[in-house]
Amino acid sequence: MTTITTEKQQYLTYILTDGDSQVAVVPERGGIVTSWKIQGKEVFYLDAERFKDASLSVRGGIPLLFPICGNLVDDTYTLDGETFKLKQHGFGRTTPWEVTHQSTDDGASLTITLTSSEETFAVYPFEFQLDYVYTLKGNRLEQRFRHTNLSDEPMPFSTGTHPYFAVADKSKLTFDIPSTDYKIKGGKEVYAFNGTFDFDQEEIDFAFINLEDQTATVKDGDSTLAIDFDENYSTLVFWTVKGKDFYCLEPWSGPRNAINTGDFLLTASPNETVETVITMTVS
């Protein structure tokens, strides 16, 4: 059975159900997916206490990254000689979104929309419309992101997600990452990945570059997670913290500071829509 229902929790929550799979979306809290259960088992981690505090960024689910991924030096970028401030990962994950379309014709599909405003224009001088479509089909969750430039000038941006996957024992995870090259946050040196992570470190923050494929997989016991992303995504970030029951595997279209360096920066021409797609499958 395929349905879309709503529940009034702390925020109005949309529940997408397709068979034994169920996804929860909270549009007004940054358009975030907070939960994905398959046969009752939770795929995502969520820090419920942080989620309750609107002044804090959400740690869990799938935060949305726009118009930058990662952090900027001094939270600052320059565009056409003018300087702007943007906090880490941009404002997509902290701004309320609006539900603009629902469908149960081919899976459970929910479209959320974010448009430019005076608040966004102060930190990102473009008129835009984002239409992000979540489609749940059984054990597969598709995220189709449409970025439309409503300005008269080309609109540079990065887009990505920051999913937090629940895990009971990180040492039992097996990774297939489509790259052997990575940088550590804040560094320029490129290191060679040997296929495993040292989870005794307090924090791991690796940005994989030079991707050779557009799929990453993680095996956790009898379960396998596959993350597929289209060729707009150039960077795959792995992040985790010691003692926390999550790991993050994040497709980014561009690396940190791309809006300043231009590295793999996406650009939408006036009235153009740039579409990107990320799909997660659990088997």
Which pLDDT does position 229 carry in this prediction? 98
Collect all residues with Cβ–Cβ distance below 8 Å to 241 and sequence separation of at least 6. Answer: 202, 203
The mean pLDDT of 87-114, rounded to a whole number, is 97
CATH number of the domain at 2-282, out of 2.70.98.10, 1.10.8.640, 3.20.20.70, 3.40.1010.20? 2.70.98.10
The mean pLDDT of 229-240, rounded to a whole number, is 98
Count of H helices and E strands in the chain? 3, 25
- Give the tens place of pLDDT for each residue, 14-42: 999 999 999 999 999 999 999 999 999 99
**What would the two tokens of residue 157 be?**
């941006």
Which pLDDT does position 57 carry in this prediction? 85
Angstrom distance (rounded) from CA 117 to CA 150: 12
Which pLDDT does position 1 carry in this prediction? 94
pLDDT class of 54 with cuts at 50, 70, 90 = confident
Backbone angles phi, psi at 259, to 5 degrees: -70, -20
pTM over 0.85: yes
Does residue 120 register a pLDDT over 90?
Answer: yes
- Give the tens place of pLDDT for each residue, 175-228: 999 999 999 998 889 999 999 999 999 999 999 999 999 999 999 999 999 999
Collect all residues with Cβ–Cβ distance below 8 Å to 30 and sequence separation of at least 6. Answer: 58, 63, 64, 92, 93, 94, 95, 96, 97
For the chain, give every domain's residue range.
2-282
Using a pLDDT cut of 90, give the percent of the chain over it: 94
pLDDT class of 11 with cuts at 50, 70, 90 = very high
Tell how far CA 268 is from the center of its chain: 19
Looking at residue 221, the DSSP 8-state letter turns out to be T
Which pLDDT does position 245 carry in this prediction? 96
